Amino acid sequence: MNPTISQRLQTGPIVIDGSMEAVLRSRGHNESPVEIYNLTNPALIERIHDEFIEAGAEIIQSNTRCANGITLNPFKLKERVYEINRKGVWLARTAAVNRAYVAGTVGPIGKFLTPIGKLRPEDAREAFMTQIHALLDGNVDLLLLKSFIDIDELEIALEVARHISRDIPIIAQRTFPEDSTVLSTDFPREVARRLNLPGVIAIGSNGTVGPNRMLTIVRSLYGTTNAILSAQPDIGIPTLVDGQPIYNATIEYVAGSVRALVEQGVTIIGVDGGGMPEHVRAIRQAIDGMAVGTPEVKVKKMKAPLNDEAEEQTAPSRFLENLGKRFLVTAELDIPRGLDMTEVFEGAEYLKRHGIDAVNISDGARARLRMSSITISHLITQRTGMECITHLACRDRNMVGLQSELLGAHALGVRNILAVTGDPAQIGDYPYATSVYDVDAIGLIRALKRMNAGLDLMGNPVGKRTNFLIACACNPVADDMDREISRLERKVAEGAQVAFTQPLFEAASLRRFLDRTEHLPIRIMLGVIPLRTARHAEFLHHEVPGMKIPEAIQRRMRESANATAEGVSIAVDFLESTADVRDRIVGLYIMPPLRRNDMIVEILEKAGLHREVTA
């Protein structure tokens, strides 16, 4: 009887096979997903497994990494999940009989979990449940959970595997895109702690980096867990040519680098991206007769400010310091096209002289091309001293870009961020541009909260805590109020501190909204917009999503001989009618039309809310 995989791992390093996808693509088989070949060309898959075993692999991976229902659904293969996985195991077992161990391979779903993305944990759990059931029904020797970046998603897969079987050995691998600065902190130790569960016989990493970078990862993980270490680096960093990865690393380089990994304590060894049978053969030859090394690795401990009470904190914004302590007023500035921001600076100076606390700077509203909201905010504060509420939209930047913007904003002193999902690109200046939406406003709020804790969205340290005021938008007159309240609840749960409302015109609407949100620990800035003309009112009501102008208000604008004065009167009347709930809001957010900043001052004076002009 052959030894079990756990027994075999006690006797020395063991080679795992390479990349099924790399072999298929190199031979002109470009259909996606590669798991479809389990059904359409099973003999080909079995033959590739056999080639890896002949080259010296003792563990072969079933061709099932992406074979979960959510990932397969766009290919109309969701109903064949069980079949694809069972067939993948059967093909691997047929090739491996008495020669190699079969690892049932499970990879990430390829979507971000809520609130960063739209994948609900319960949906991920169900997808993994179906896939892992099929793999275990196929009688695999072990499970290989690989290519996971999100540790939360990897933990879900681990929980599912352990729920289905308490005995199946598991290799858990997280892909580490982090640099050496992050790896030299306690971050790898925290990852190892979360993966060190019963039945996990090995932890490690695969993909993204080549053998040389994998050495840094291995050194970071060594000594953090009782489980053995596994490593499957890519053979190198590829260059994309016509969408296909081209690797420059020689077979000799890969084999020598992998030998160094074994010397550094790796027991399960192989290559991932670009890994061909010839690489496996060279690795097998390079490590023959080797024992797994036991290096003396000194983990470099960086200063860990996140738990240090003596950490020097970045000062909060004045707006955040005053929030809830006095009644605040912000005003939206109209951002022109192009480079000339003279009117913006003049508007900010005027409003500052009249006691306005901050100005709101939109981020490409209506998908129109405008200067970066962060850049404008920095320039306004630098030139006028006025604080800004900087809107940041999720439309134009992916998850990396959004977080880069936040780091840059903090470095420039931009502290007040209002997270918005953003209008779709097709309604704007460039209707054929791509709307990104890696995350929506809720995911961006999560990013802001994580950075205030010193982490990025994936839990990697960013060096020190930021000190952002986290703001969001809400609509008290939304058509679907249940959904609106639910989203506001999620925004608050993720870290939103203050909500800026859509403009309102009726006190009853405000009272209803405040009653429905009184359970939420969030402060409300009441949105007010002075109407300019009857046409302006009709446009807002009929053409701007989320805006509702009551018919009585529209009638007042139509019947007035002086529409602008009437617009001011309507705003003042509204504010006076909300005096009884003034203690339930923390301030006003006024949106004047066409740079009419004087209307803001007039409204505040007539409503008895104007403060003395500053020096």
Tens of pLDDT, residue by residue over 434-460, are: 888 888 999 999 999 999 999 998 888
For residue 465, being part of any structural domain is answered with yes
d(CA 107, CA 98): 26
Q: Are 59 and 103 in contact (CB under 8 A)?
A: yes
Together in a domain, 173 and 320: no
pLDDT in tens, 99-134: 999 999 999 999 988 878 889 999 999 999 999 999
The residue behind tokens 């308490």 is 166
Together in a domain, 229 and 369: no
For the chain, report the end-to-end CA distance as a whole number of angstroms: 90
Together in a domain, 104 and 57: yes
93: CATH: 3.20.20.330
Parent domain of 355: 315-606
For residue 301, being part of any structural domain is answered with no
User: Which of the listed residues 237, 267, 287 is the one where a domain comes to its end?
Assistant: 287
d(CA 385, CA 388): 9
Together in a domain, 84 and 194: yes
pLDDT at 313: 59
For residue 293, being part of any structural domain is answered with no
For residue 613, being part of any structural domain is answered with no
Q: Are 183 and 208 in contact (CB under 8 A)?
A: no
3-state SS string for 448-468 = HHHHHCCECCCCCECCCCCCC
Token code pair at residue 309? 């009470």
| CB environment 267-306: b (16+ within 10 A), e (fewer) | bbbbbbbbbbbebbbbbbebbeeeebbeeeeebeeeeebb
Q: How many residues would you count in the chain? A: 615
596: CATH: 3.20.20.220
| Rg, Å, the chain Cα set | 30
What parts of the chain have a pLDDT lower than 70? 1, 178-185, 243, 296-313, 611-615
Together in a domain, 419 and 345: yes
Together in a domain, 162 and 259: yes
d(CA 17, CA 275): 8
The residue behind tokens 């480079």 is 339
Beginning with the edge strand found earlier in the chain, give each strand of the sheet holding 228-232 in spatial order: 14-15, 266-269, 228-232, 200-206, 170-174, 142-148, 101-106, 59-61
pLDDT at 428: 80
User: Which of the listed residues 269, 287, 305 is the one where a domain comes to its end?
Assistant: 287
Among residues 177, 173, 55, the alpha carbon closest in space to that of 105 is found at 173
Together in a domain, 359 and 469: yes
Together in a domain, 276 and 322: no
Residue 546 burial class via C-beta count within 10 angstroms: exposed 0-12, middle 13-18, buried 19 and up? middle
Number of structural domains found in the chain: 2
pLDDT in tens, 527-565: 999 999 999 999 989 888 888 999 999 999 999 999 999
Q: Are 396 and 428 in contact (CB under 8 A)?
A: no
Residue type, 190: E
Together in a domain, 141 and 87: yes
Q: Are 330 and 357 in contact (CB under 8 A)?
A: yes
Together in a domain, 262 and 320: no
User: Under the phi-then-psi rule, with left for phi > 0, alpha for psi from -120 to 50, and beta for the rest, what region is 213?
Assistant: alpha
d(CA 320, CA 326): 11
Together in a domain, 491 and 582: yes
d(CA 544, CA 117): 26
pLDDT at 615: 47
For residue 464, being part of any structural domain is answered with yes
For residue 430, being part of any structural domain is answered with yes
Together in a domain, 266 and 347: no
pTM reported for the whole predicted model = 0.79
Phi, psi of 500 (to 5 degrees): -100, 125
For residue 523, being part of any structural domain is answered with yes
pLDDT at 611: 67
For residue 474, being part of any structural domain is answered with yes
